[in-house]
Amino acid sequence: MATSMRGLTQFIADIRGARIRENEERRINKEMANIRKKFKEGNLDGYQKKKYVAKVVFTYILGYPVDIGHMEAVNLISSSKYSEKQIGYLAVTLLMHENSDILRLVVNSIRKDLDENNEINNCLALHAIANVGGHEMAEALAEDVHRLLISPTSQNFVKKKAALTLLRLYRKHPEVIPAADWALRIVAILDDEDLGVVVSVASLVMALAQDHLEAYAVSYQKAVDRLSKLVLERECPPSYSYYKVPSPWLQVKLLRLLQYYPPSEDSTVRSVLERTLQAIMTNANSTPRNVQHSNAQNAVLFEAISLAIHLDTDSPLMDTAAVLLARFIMSKETNVRYLGLDTMAHLAARADSLTSIKKHQGTIISSLRDRDISVRRRALDLLYSMCDGDNAETIVEELLRYLQVADYAIREEMVLKIAILTEKYATSYKWYVDTILKLIAAAGDHVGEEVWYRVVQIITNTDDLQEYACRTIFAYLRAPICHESLVKVAGYVLGEYGHIVANEPGFSPLEQFQALHSKSQFCGTSTRALLLSTYIKWVNVFPEIKQDLLSVFERYRHVLDSELQQRACEYYVLASRPEEDEMLQTVCEEMPPFPPRESALLGRLNRKHGDTEDKRVWVHGGKEANLERGATKRRAGTRQSTLPPPNESSAANQHPEDNSRSSIMDSLAGLDLSSDSRVGETGGSQEASTPIVQGPHIDKWYQNLISTNEGVLYEDSQLQIGIKSEYHGHLGRLAIYFGNKTSTPLTSFTAIVSVADSEALSVTFAKIPANIVEARTQSQQLLHVECRKAFSAPPTLSVSFLAGSMQSIKLRIPIVLTKFFEGARLNATDFFDRWRLIGGPPREAQSIFAIQLDATGRINHSRYRKIMTGARLTILDDVDPTPTNIVAAGVLHTLKDGKVGCLLRLEPNQEAKLCRLTIRSTSEEVAAEVLTVLQKPLSN
């Protein structure tokens, strides 16, 4: 840039040559005055504007304030010369912020550069949008960026920049990106041949899928397919192979994307994914050649183990994963130890059994004293997650011992976790009190209000704990040094239950008062206020020390603090009332038990672990905590739809200045003192699914395939879908043919089968469908079908492909209950005996409907018989006494319910043009469904 502009080169040389700051400032002021004069005079050509704006940009980079050159930079963006346009974009991105009014002037110029068939201009415009794109610019240009991303004429490097620009806009202004509407088209780019484009789009899909899981569900199958090609088939260009690891960046992103979704119910997808994960873990056993190879291999491996944990903690893969993790947590490399501990914490958060992790408990405990604080944090998280009733005392004891020397940065978190574990796995009241008081004494200022609140609640609600708590807390009071949090606990416990031990030696009322009051001078205002409440309680139960307590109230009546003064005055008046007055007894009654409630400690701990841009799919704390988290998220999503608008919230929520008070109220949430909490405003929305394609031909093809084994399911000018099927018992196979009728390939081809009730029906592809259907060719996919029990809704086939534009089709697959029938032959006696034995409703389903006669005005018996035969029922001739009636019988084969008998009787009436269809079955569900399947073709 500088070599083509002599004035700029000389200016930079002068600045560099200035030996003192005054000379530099003098030179810059002189140049800025000259530039300001030139801009004011006007009549500058493009070269001169470029030169002067470049000087302004250089001055800004040096850190000097700049207030000129903005309009000239805007004019340069409109230039047709690359060098001038480049300087203009550089100045705009550096000199202007996203809320600048001047940016509105460049929106049209940026849109023009995005629309041009010039990849250089496209990239300059994308850089500007990503760097300074505010809300208005995002609203105006998001569609244009998306168009560049999906355009088949865009260069690969333009697509990469467009994907990252959209990601930037979504992170800053998610509300302006119609993520759900663009889902299919964006996900389709995961099939792009250029891995660089796929890596960029994978980052975008990861961000969008976190907030729109349903809309981006199609990415699951594509991610599995791409992973299998990278790992199993080694389909990776040499330029994207990093130390013989095929595109590790893409592998990591796809493995993380799969963790956002629940495990697939498709056995084929699960099988491919398990083979891929097994291959990744097997490759990890090879010795890395160098650090770079090790880093790439480990990055993929740790995500693969996390995905294996997410899929199934009881799978054979976990045996291999456990061995690898044990090796990693003992590695000499800090990063590997960190990732090993974090991944093992994930395993502890999901696994039903912690046996494999407990084998390494000693190594994990020793990691608490690692030189790196991040490793120490992960060791703490892992110990917290792997704790259960068997090892709780050992782990808590180790954490208390480590607390003495722990870093101040993690002490508060340690206190919360120790308090939670102590409460959750307390084996006895004595151990709980000893441990929690030892924690408060050791942690000091790192003990939050929630900790001692919870201690007080548990002691209040547990009668057997109160006497021992008084003895133990009194022992801490007698020590020379006692932390303020302990004084608070002691003040509450002794005030409520000190009378229980008052008659024992060493615990007299006077000794309790002296021990507690001696610590008050070292405490803050809130603690002294609590102690005054303790003293008024003692006035009621310990009349022998009433004068000592009154003297304390008298002294506090004259303090400057208004809270203390008011309490002291009120308590002094209350304590001075006559002994026969019952008001004191009424006011000082013992605290009732707190209502059962969830511990506030868990809420405080969860607030400390805020979500990042890449949201975790699990939390520390074992399997129970993760199950509770999932249930809480589901309840929050359900409740979100019933919440009133924010402006209709209660008065307690309209005062932000009450936040400090509400945090205290939250800790006493069983007392119904605070307003109900609200879930966040950013709940996930329900994404509309693609509607099933309807049409006269489509319905006719579907009905035809219900009674036949092969035929056309769908056809248009681009695609034809045909089906061939065969069924034996409760099993079936379907061959689906996708025919490309166009002269160009159908790219990003995706076919997904959805089943409404997976417990009743299983339909899976034998292998993941290919993502390209070549021109004028046909692609065949095999479906395996299994009927487990009676079902009503047929499965659906969702097909999407790219043919100029994104096409999406959703069809019903003709898999109905009658496909799993086998005809049964019965004579008249057997038929009617079973007919009567089954009886009427609810195991009978009946319908009367209008029918159409044939061209001669007669009942079309041959058509009806064909429909019955197509439903895999055996027609029983000479059984019904009425010759025009048709009777049939069959047996439904299912995996879970076994065989289910079904009898049919069709009674057409030629004169009335009506027909009565009666189905009787040993299962009422089967009778109703067979009636539904047969009525429509019979009535047409």
The answer for residues whose C-beta is within 8 angstroms of residue 829's C-beta and 6 or more apart is none
The answer for residues whose C-beta is within 8 angstroms of residue 63's C-beta and 6 or more apart is none
Distances (CA, A) of 895 to 212, 731, 759, 820, 926: 36, 9, 11, 11, 14
Cα–Cα distance between 487 and 455 in angstroms, integer? 13
Cα–Cα distance between 319 and 935 in angstroms, integer? 54
Break the chain down into helix, strand, coil percent, rounded to 5: 60, 10, 30
β-strand partners of 782: 735
Copy the structure tokens of residue 222. 């594509």
Burial 841-864, CB ≥16 within 10 A → b, else e: eebbbeeeeebeeeeeeebeeeeb
Say which amino acid occupies 236: C
For 830-864, what is the HEC assignment? HHHHHHHHHCCCCCEEEEEEECCCCCCCCCCHHHH
Say which amino acid occupies 702: Y
Nearest one of 420, 486, 417, 408 to 446, comparing CA atoms = 408
| Length of the chain measured in residues | 940
Nearest one of 810, 926, 793 to 871, comparing CA atoms = 926
The answer for residues whose C-beta is within 8 angstroms of residue 642's C-beta and 6 or more apart is none
H helices then E strands: how many in the chain? 38, 16
The reply, when asked if residue 81 is annotated as ligand binding, is: no
The reply, when asked if residue 402 is annotated as ligand binding, is: no
Is the Cα dihedral 234, 239, 244, 248 positive or negative?
A: negative
Strand duo 778-787 + 796-803: pairing: unpaired
Copy the structure tokens of residue 335. 């990063």
Nearest one of 130, 143, 162, 149 to 188, comparing CA atoms = 149
The DSSP letter of residue 902 is E
The reply, when asked if residue 7 is annotated as ligand binding, is: yes
Copy the structure tokens of residue 720. 């034809």
Rg (CA), the chain: 38
Evaluate whether 635 touches 674 at the Cβ level (below 8 Å). Answer: no
The reply, when asked if residue 55 is annotated as ligand binding, is: yes
Evaluate whether 746 touches 696 at the Cβ level (below 8 Å). Answer: no
Q: What are phi and psi of 138, to 5 degrees?
A: -65, -45
The reply, when asked if residue 19 is annotated as ligand binding, is: no
Nearest one of 895, 882, 869, 922 to 788, comparing CA atoms = 895
The reply, when asked if residue 825 is annotated as ligand binding, is: no
Cα–Cα distance between 223 and 181 in angstroms, integer? 20
Say which amino acid occupies 611: D
Cα–Cα distance between 674 and 416 in angstroms, integer? 23
Cα–Cα distance between 165 and 614 in angstroms, integer? 17
The reply, when asked if residue 38 is annotated as ligand binding, is: yes
Evaluate whether 207 touches 171 at the Cβ level (below 8 Å). Answer: yes
Q: Which residue has the tokens 């610590």?
A: 519
The answer for residues whose C-beta is within 8 angstroms of residue 812's C-beta and 6 or more apart is 692, 702, 794, 795, 796, 797
Q: How many C-beta atoms lie closer than 10 Å to residue 806's C-beta?
A: 17
The reply, when asked if residue 389 is annotated as ligand binding, is: no
Evaluate whether 368 touches 379 at the Cβ level (below 8 Å). Answer: yes
The reply, when asked if residue 680 is annotated as ligand binding, is: no
Q: Which helix (H) or strand (E) holds 86?
A: helix 82-95
Evaluate whether 50 touches 87 at the Cβ level (below 8 Å). Answer: yes
Burial 77-114, CB ≥16 within 10 A → b, else e: bebeeebbbbbbbbbbbebbeeeeeebebbeebbeebb
Numbered residues of the known binding site: 6-7, 38, 47, 51-55
